[in-house]
Amino acid sequence: MLHVKNLDEGLEVFKALGSELRINIIKLLQENHEMNMNELATSLGITNGALTSHIKKLEESGIIQVMTERGGHGNQKICKVAVDKIVVDVESEETEEDQNIYNTEVKVGHYSDYNVYPTCGLATSKAIVGEVDDPRYFSHPDRINAGILWFTKGYIEYMIPNLLPSATKIDQITVSLEISSEAPGINNDWPSDISIFLNDVKIGTWTSPGDYGDVQGIFTPDWWFPNWNQYGLLKMIVINKKGTFVDGLKISDVTINQFNLDYKSTVRFKFEIEEDAKNIGGITIFGSEFGNYNQDIKVRIAYSPMEIAKK
pLDDT in tens, 155-191: 999 999 999 999 999 999 999 999 999 998 899 999 9
* Cβ within 8 Å of residue 198, ≥6 positions away: 173, 239, 254, 259, 267, 268, 269, 270
Q: Looking at the domain that runs over 2-86, which CATH code has it been given?
A: 1.10.10.10
Contact between residue 173 and residue 256 where contact means Cβ atoms under 8 Å apart: yes
Contact between residue 202 and residue 270 where contact means Cβ atoms under 8 Å apart: no
Residue 239, strand partner residues? 173, 244
* Cβ within 8 Å of residue 23, ≥6 positions away: 17
Judge whether residue 90 has pLDDT over 70: no
Contact between residue 178 and residue 295 where contact means Cβ atoms under 8 Å apart: yes
Give the Cβ contact number of residue 147 at 10 Å: 23
- Domain extents for the chain? 2-86, 93-305
pLDDT tens per residue across span 18-72? 899 999 999 999 999 899 999 999 999 999 999 999 999 999 999 999 988 766 5
* Cβ within 8 Å of residue 169, ≥6 positions away: 260, 261, 262, 263, 303, 304, 305, 306
pTM: 0.72
Residue 69 has phi, psi (to 5 degrees) of -120, 130
Please give the DSSP secondary-structure letter assigned to residue 306.
Answer: P
Cα 141 to its chain centre, rounded Å, is: 26
Amino acid 260: pLDDT: 96
Nearest to 44 by CA among 53, 60, 2: 53
Amino acid 262: pLDDT: 97
Contact between residue 296 and residue 108 where contact means Cβ atoms under 8 Å apart: yes
- Architecture, CATH, for domain 93-305: Sandwich (2.60)
